[in-house]
């Protein structure tokens, strides 16, 4: 698996890493059960901050694309191929668009929607 990070690209570095790992799984360059480099090793190889790689790994683990097995390392999840094809961001955008449309139909202004969204994001219940 070859990963190249473009620091000039406006796409965040951790997002580039997530997308490239998912692409490698979809293209069968890495398969379920394959081991991945440690966070520290991958950060050194790509000349990235280890926190950037850790964030990417955390998102991939959340999406069930990889799984951590403690001291044994990080591996490609058994359901990685299916999970790599899912776009969580597209789903969130669709849900938000639906909610915004409902608010606008009810007469809520854009400003009121932004304020409500900000309030919801800052809510202690999240």
Residue in 20, 39, 38, 40 with CA at minimum distance from that of residue 30 = 20
**Does residue 32 fall inside a structural domain?**
yes
pLDDT value of position 123: 83
- Which residue range is the domain that position 92 belongs to? 88-121
**Does residue 1 fall inside a structural domain?**
no
Same domain, 31 and 79: yes
pLDDT value of position 45: 95
The residues that bridge with 68 in the sheet, in sequence order, are 74
- The end-to-end CA distance of the chain, in Å, is 36
Instruction: Examine the pLDDT at 126 and tell me if it is beyond 70.
Output: no
Chain segment 7-59, per-residue pLDDT in tens: 999 999 999 999 999 999 999 999 999 999 999 999 999 999 999 999 999 99
Q: How many other C-beta atoms lie within 10 A of the C-beta of residue 116?
A: 13
- Residues 25-28: contacts with CB within 8 Å, 24+ apart? 25/65, 25/76, 25/80, 25/81, 25/84, 26/81, 26/84, 26/85
Q: What is the largest CA-CA distance in the chain?
A: 55
Same domain, 65 and 94: no
The C-alpha atoms of residue 59 and residue 32 are separated, in whole angstroms, by 17
pLDDT value of position 90: 81
Chain segment 81-117, per-residue pLDDT in tens: 999 988 777 888 999 999 999 999 999 999 999 999 9
Average pLDDT, the chain: 93
Q: What is the pTM of this model?
A: 0.74
**Does residue 30 fall inside a structural domain?**
yes
Using DSSP bridges, classify how beta strands 74-76 and 35-36 pair: parallel, antiparallel or unpaired.
antiparallel
Same domain, 69 and 93: no
């Amino acid at each position: 698996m070859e990963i190249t990070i473009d620091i000039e690209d406006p796409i965040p570095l951790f997002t580039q890493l997530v997308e490239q790992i998912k692409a490698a799984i979809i293209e069968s360059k890495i398969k379920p059960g394959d081991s991945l480099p440690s966070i520290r090793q991958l950060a050194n190889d790509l000349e990235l901050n280890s926190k950037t790689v850790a964030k990417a790994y955390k998102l991939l683990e959340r999406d069930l694309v990889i799984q951590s097995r403690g001291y044994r390392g990080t591996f490609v999840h058994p359901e990685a191929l299916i999970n790599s094809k899912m776009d969580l961001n597209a789903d969130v955008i669709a849900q938000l668009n639906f909610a915004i449309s409902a608010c606008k139909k009810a007469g809520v202004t854009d400003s009121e929607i932004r304020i409500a969204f900000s309030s919801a994001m800052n809510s202690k219940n999240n």
